[in-house]
Amino acid sequence: MTDDPGEDADSPDVREARSTLAAGQLLAFDGGAPGDPGAERHHVLRQLRGQLERHPAVEAAWGTPDGEYSVVKARLDPAYFGRGADTATLDVVWQPFPDGDLPDTGDSSMPAVRTRVDAMFRVHYSESSGFDCGFHNEPNPHVDGWFHVQWRGSPDEEYAYQPASLTARTPVGALWEMVEELESIIRLE
């Protein structure tokens, strides 16, 4: 994990931050200008990676690409869930809506409902056995509204979809709520 707080004081990121500050520009917490959607996404994903690192099933978590996360990945111990697979992963994608504006999908019949979080996101579990499942908040013609859970027993099966809901209002709260629900699904499979 190259972006730990103890990173080298002479790293390119630190040098860039110093030159930006010297030029009188305000930096957001993780770098980038305030209001920059990429910087906001990176900041949220760094928070979520830190939260995932606390989960007992997580062996390692990292964001890619370095310094500008677009996805957080975690390697999990499937035995924690009572699964016989050799390996398991969790992918987290988070795209905040600037100023809370929902993107226009061109389909007025697919309102973004059943979540109070202003973002498109995905928290998806996969294992070497072929089983995978996840929560997705994005347009999908297979389910009413955006927020849904999907699962399949193997790559040659079709996904099953079900509308879902969240009570969380923050990215961290949403992550924990979805991880808890995913654990239930994984243990039942």
Question: Where exactly are the structural domains of the chain?
Answer: 37-188
Provide CB contacts within 8 A for 170, sequence distance 6+. Answer: 117
* 112-138: burial string, b at 16+ Cβ within 10 Å, e else: beebebbbbbbbbbbbebebbbbbbbb
- Residue 107 has a pLDDT of 54
- The token pair at 49 is 């990676």
The torsion defined by the Cα of 29, 34, 36 and 42, in degrees rounded to 10, comes to 10
Least confident of 13-22, 34-43, 65-74, 130-139: 13-22
pLDDT(104) > 90:
no
Place of tokens 């579990």: 125
- Residue 13 has a pLDDT of 46
Provide mean pLDDT across the span 42-60.
Answer: 96
Quote the percentage of the chain above a pLDDT of 70: 70
Count of residues in the chain: 189
Distances (CA, A) of 64 to 82, 118, 135: 29, 22, 20
- Residue 90 has a pLDDT of 98
List strand residue ranges (DSSP E) for the chain, in order.
58-64, 71-76, 88-96, 119-127, 132-137, 147-152, 160-163
- Residue 117 has a pLDDT of 77
Instruction: Locate all alpha helices (DSSP H) within the chain, ordered by sequence.
Output: 12-22, 37-52, 171-188
Provide mean pLDDT across the span 105-129.
Answer: 73
